[in-house]
Amino acid sequence: MIKTIDMHYLKHFYLYAKNYKKTSYLGMAMMPLSVASNLLFPWLVIQVIDTKLMLGQLDGLYKLLFWMIIVLIINYLADSFYSYFLRKTGQLTVFEMRSELFRRILKLPRTYFDKTPTGVTLTRLTSDLESIGESFVLGVLSLVKDTINTVAVLLFMFVINWQLTLVVLVVFPPILYLTYYVRNKLRSLYLITRSTLAKGTGYLQECLLGVKTVQLYGAEQEVEDQYRSHTSAFLKAQLKTNKYDAALFSIITGITSITIGLIIWYGAGSIQKGAVSLGVLIAFINTLEKIFIPLRDFTSQIASIQRSFAAFEHIEELFIEPLEEDGRLLLPPHDLKERLSTFDSLQFDTVSFRYNEQTPYVLKDVSFTLNKGEQLAMVGTTGSGKSTIMRLMNKVYMDYEGSILLNGIELSLIPKESMLHLFSLMQQDAFLFEENVHFNISLGNNDVRDQAVIDAAHYVYAHNFIEELPGQYEFQLTNSGENLSAGQTQLISFARAIAQGGQVVMLDEATSSVDSITEELIQKAISKLFKEKTVIAVAHRLSTIRNADQILVLADGKVVERGNHQMLLDIGGVYAGLLQDSNYVDGDTLTEI
């Protein structure tokens, strides 16, 4: 009843569960005790009725009753420990899987996040994994235990009276057929429920992140209607699964009642003929619960297992999603350690790039060289390719055409971890964690000491405002830094770039969306950077770029002009036109045409 692909999921689960063999073995050790007590109890019932009560012999009766109580206690304890240890194994296994999945997600390429909503990934890590933990442990393993119990009880019943056992077996074929039919239905429906839940979660996350915008433009009703469409699809699929689950449960419950009636009818006739004793009949009726309760639970176990397989089918997508540098030819890190210990040069040679084969090129034959100690600035219209060049330098995207050489080594051959120490990036959109200021500057990196954090804050003129915060560097940020101003957030992001110690500092629109006071502080820090470090800057402020050794002017993915500030002014081309259109004074914004 388990397909080949399902066996693959079971094996995958076992790869993580085998790390916790001790707890699983302790649980499995309880199974023989549970099975033995299930068989021993009806045998004791037969002995009490047929050898004591029916014959009026009370001698030894209390001893048998005592052993019946002991057997019940053993059965209860065995089932309890079985459930506890296997639940523990399941939770520990899910913990391992969640940790491994999170490690993989952190190493997935940017293209994955470009095409996959965050809420979908979040659902895989939360509800899908929980479904697996619940279903594999309480579903598959309970199914194994119940199957062994059922087979053992049937053999016991066959030994004490094979005719009554045949009456019980008559109802098995329709139950097995119904179970097989409903199983396939449930599997397809659970795939739909997991998909619709993931889409709904993704949309919900977008709405919560953008709730201020929704409220600002009064779009609450439209957003609510859209979310209702997602939840309605989930509800529709869930109701269908409930219908099949409930139908199978009620059918098996009905068959159980019919079978008990058949046993009583057939057994009563057999008692009159002397073929069956009263103790055997009562033991049979009592033992039927040991068969039909697992069969009844089997329906919910099947539903639970199908739910978990549907969840595993989605999670498997994350396990097989190629990692950032999977399948790429890379040089051994130990061969690069000395050659990449310091930054010497970066060279783009006729580099072209597009995000996929269906989209147009966003970079076309871009060439430039940046040497140690130089400052490179890039200007141009929105969408001209400035930030894409930054992303290629950081190996955010790797499938470029042409050649990018870092210290004379082709960038595509360099493992990412071998070059990260060379670059620090300050992004246009600063992201802060719900941690203290110290963590947001150091990012929890043990190599960044306390003094380095303070020095970085001093460097970008953030130390003064941090000192005024309650707790200073231990001040706790909330909701991505909402308890700080936009300018303070940007300064902490700038301090983070400095604290990481990169020899090349990359500034991506560092002064955008900040107040004039913060901009002045950032510009002072940038001026120091231009004198002390190798800098690559995407900027729209004249004061940021006028002192750069080389300015690249980009348009439509091409470098249309290059040179220093004065050279480009003398040419009187695109760059000069940008400045003339803005009628600039020092510090003005370059017009983006």
**Which amino acid type is present at position 1?**
M
For residue 49, what is the DSSP state? I
- Of 132, 146, 174, nearest to 297 by C-alpha is 146
Q: Which residues of the chain have pLDDT under 70?
A: 1-10, 54, 56, 133-141, 180, 183-184, 187, 194, 208-219, 292-293, 295-303, 306, 324-329, 428-429, 480-481, 510-516, 540-544, 581-593
d(CA 284, CA 258): 14
pTM of the model: 0.62
Domains of the chain as residue ranges with CATH: 9-320 (1.20.1560.10), 372-387+421-582 (3.40.50.300)
Tell me phi and psi for residue 363, to 5 degrees.
Answer: -130, 140
Query: How many angstroms separate the CA atoms of 444 and 456, rounded?
Result: 15
Beta-carbon contacts of residue 85 (< 8 Å; ≥ 6 apart) = 23, 24, 26, 27, 30
Q: Which amino acid is at 546?
A: R
Strand runs (DSSP E) across 435-557, as ranges? 504-508, 534-538, 550-555
User: pLDDT tens digit string along 36-52?
Assistant: 888 788 888 777 777 77
Helix orientation angle between 486-499 and 450-459, rounded to the nearest 10 degrees = 120
What's the confidence (pLDDT) of residue 589? 47
Query: Which residue do the tokens 């430039």 mark?
Result: 368
Per the CB < 8 A criterion, the answer to whether 564 and 550 are in contact is yes
Tens of pLDDT, residue by residue over 470-481, are 888 888 887 766
